[in-house]
Chains A and B, each alone.
Chain A
Amino acid sequence: MKVEILNPAVEFHDTTVSYDRKPVLWNIDMTLPQGSLIGIIGPNGAGKSTLIKAAMGLLPLASGYVKIFDGDLDEHRKRVSYVPQRESVDWDFPTSAIDIVLMGRYAHIGLLGRISKKDRSLAMDCLEQVGMQAFAKRQISQLSGGQQQRVFLARALAQQADLYFMDEPFAGVDASTESAILNILRNLTQEGKTVIVVHHDLQSAAEFFDWIVLLNMRLIASAPIENVFTQNLLQETYGGKLTLLSEISELIKKRNIPSRENY
């Protein structure tokens, strides 16, 4: 099932990506529409992260090309934002939430440029949009997983891009963060921006996205949501969610609970 469109935000043309010569993505060929909320769905190891890393020029392509706004990525760097998987960085880094958001301004500030008052107030606005203004000065390791994810999102907002690639922004976040993030993404697409989100939960995917890319080492589908699958099918396949559980595990880790209780 594949739907092609004109004037896409992103075009993958016969793209193959390999690690150590071993291809993990085969001949991806698709066009993704502007102004949509697009979900990239697939099981673990399907190559979802690899796909968006390749689109962001973080991995060499074994073959094919990727076009961003019908041009080269380098022409449009400032219009494109990338939110890596939360686990890809060490959150024990000595810095505060607001400083992370300010990193979203670096491309605009330029090498050797200084951070201005305007950048600071913009970063603060972005934190406010994700409901984290109260945590601006907080050291990032003291934030919960959901809050860290929000900080990453605020950093992306600070980039003021037109196209966003996000790797699992909903992973390990609580229900209220989930709906907060979703709202922000919807607002972005309403402003005509394109948001491409890696997501692994099929059930919620049906509620979240306008356009779905199904991926498993190769492209299985890329089409508007209604063409790809029906609500019924999904409910059958997937059970309830376990966000509470992941939050508890995080609490256990944070508070350093002694493992065996003998007192």
Chain B
Amino acid sequence: MESIWKFISLSDPNIISVVIGSVLITASSAVVGTFSFLKKKALVGDAVAHAVLPGICLAFILSGNKNPIYIIIGAFITGWLSLIIIDIITKKSKLKEDTAIALVLSVSFAIGILMLTAIQHSGNASQSGLQSFLFGKAAALIGRDLIMFSVVAVILLLMVVLFFKELKLIAFDESFANTIGLPVKALNLLLTSLIVMAVVTGIQAVGVVLMAAILITPAAAARFWTDDLVKMIILAAIIGAFSGWAGSLVSYVAPRMPTGPWIVMVVSIIALISFFIAPKKGIISKQLELAKLRASILEENLLKELYRMGEKDMNTSNAYTLDLLTMQRHFPIKYLKPALRRLLKKSLVFKEGNKWSLSEQGHQKGKRIVKLHRLWELYLSTYLKIAPDHVHEDAETIEHIITPELESRLEKLLDFPKKDPHDRKIPY
């Protein structure tokens, strides 16, 4: 408990460097990751992340120590190599890109693990800690790393700011970018370089196995909350930064714990919450909307059936019992009563004893639905040549979604017809 407080209050310079380091890495990864998310290239980052492991091991074997400069150079080389190999495989063989990515990812990771095991058995004393590149160890960040991370973070952010409009365009419409003469190849190269840079620096805190999550998940979560690219990038950076901070907290409080899984847990929980509660795009709000739509369809159907019964009996203000109503059309009782109560509240229907009838307003509404139903049936049978006995089902849905604008066009197109394909009168 005490150590948590110590961490939160940043009471020791070590903590400061750990926090700043993790936050810089995760936030800037989230920023460049937003573009790979929008380009639907999420897996590429994953392949690069796994492919840096052999580079790290190779750098260690050649230099004999864990100097971050060597490590990063090694990581950069194999990370890049993986992209080139993916590109070659996709272009020269019949394999699709996702297959090529999976292939490169697994093969290079396997090589990396073999090398790592060999190093661990070599008896070299300074190898301890190399393991932490697998799942990340934020607490291992020290002042020396910090300078480099800051440099990388600044480069990443600067490039995104400088080339923002171009990166945005190639993510949205690459062909158009090509036709206006933008150097699309160079820009794509820039973006992949930024991703490789983000990955190479990020592995210290997150680890190669889970690095892709920190690139993509913040963007995926942010997308739920906004429709504006700038806001989305900022939000992704904040989400990334928060999970980076949380990860380093865990790493500090429980030093034996790897950081990567914690960072990914935090960012995934944020994504999951967004998935449920985000306004408009979230599942809950979508379900609510669907329920509302369903309720309004039910109400319209009730008005329609009351209208049709009145039409049959040549008296539109006739009142009917629920039994008669459910005989006309099967309404589930569970939903029927609340729906009628809602209609009553809106004064679209009246209730006398146990009988229900339409108000003037309800009558108009019911009439409109019946009209739309019959117009649509007529449209289908005249314009699509669908047999009259096949048009009803379709009209049952369409009648509820035709807008007033489409309604008047439909009327004009069919020239205010008198009868539908079943020879029933179309009411206006």
Contacts and interface: CB of A to CB of B under 8 A. Distances in A.
Interface in B77-132: none
B401 A252 contact: yes
Contact of A251 (B335, B401, B409): B401
A93 B38 contact: yes
B175 A139 contact: no
B9 interface: no
9 contacts: A58-B179, A84-B175, A89-B172, A93-B172, A95-B228, A99-B168, A242-B383, A244-B383, A256-B290
A175 B413 CA distance: 11
Interface of A: 53, 56-58, 74, 77-78, 80-82, 84, 88-90, 93-96, 99-100, 103, 106-107, 109, 111-112, 115, 139, 141, 155, 159, 175, 240, 242, 244-245, 247-248, 251-252, 255-258, 261-263
Given A106-B166, A240-B383, A256-B290, A94 B229 contact: yes
Given A53-B175, A57-B179, A263 B297 contact: yes
A98 to B, nearest CB: 12
Nearest to A261: B396
B32 to A, nearest CB: 16
Given A93-B171, A244-B410, A257-B293, A159 B180 contact: yes
A82 B176 contact: yes
Nearest to B393: A261
A159 B163 CA distance: 20
B291 to A, nearest CB: 10
A244 B183 CA distance: 41
A161 to B, nearest CB: 10
A179 to B, nearest CB: 14
Nearest to A89: B173
B286 interface: yes
A18 B332 CA distance: 59
A240 B413 CA distance: 11
Nearest to B39: A90
Interface residues of B, number: 51
A106 B182 contact: yes
Given A94-B229, A103-B169, A139-B227, A244 B409 contact: yes
Interface in B34-48: 38, 40
Contacts of A244: 379, 383, 406, 409-410, 413
The 3 closest A-B pairs by CB, nearest first: A139-B227, A107-B180, A77-B181
Interface string B406-428: 10011001000000000000000
Contact of B229 (A95, A247, A252, A263): A95
B144 interface: no
A261 B175 CA distance: 42
Given A82-B175, A261-B297, A107 B181 contact: yes
Contact of A112 (B162, B178, B298): B162
Given A106-B177, A248-B398, A251-B406, 19 more contacts: A56-B175, A77-B179, A88-B173, A93-B171, A94-B38, A94-B223, A109-B165, A112-B163, A115-B165, A139-B227, A141-B227, A159-B180, A244-B383, A251-B402, A252-B397, A256-B286, A257-B401, A263-B301, A263-B331
B293 A258 contact: yes
B397 to A, nearest CB: 6
Contacts of B165: 103, 106, 109, 115
A150 B335 CA distance: 43
Given A77-B181, A107-B180, A263-B331, A258 B290 contact: yes
B232 interface: yes
B93 to A, nearest CB: 12
B62 interface: no
B391 to A, nearest CB: 13
Interface in B384-411: 384, 396-398, 400-403, 406, 409-410
Contacts of A256: 286, 289-290, 293
Nearest to A167: B175
Contacts of B400: 257
A94 B225 CA distance: 10
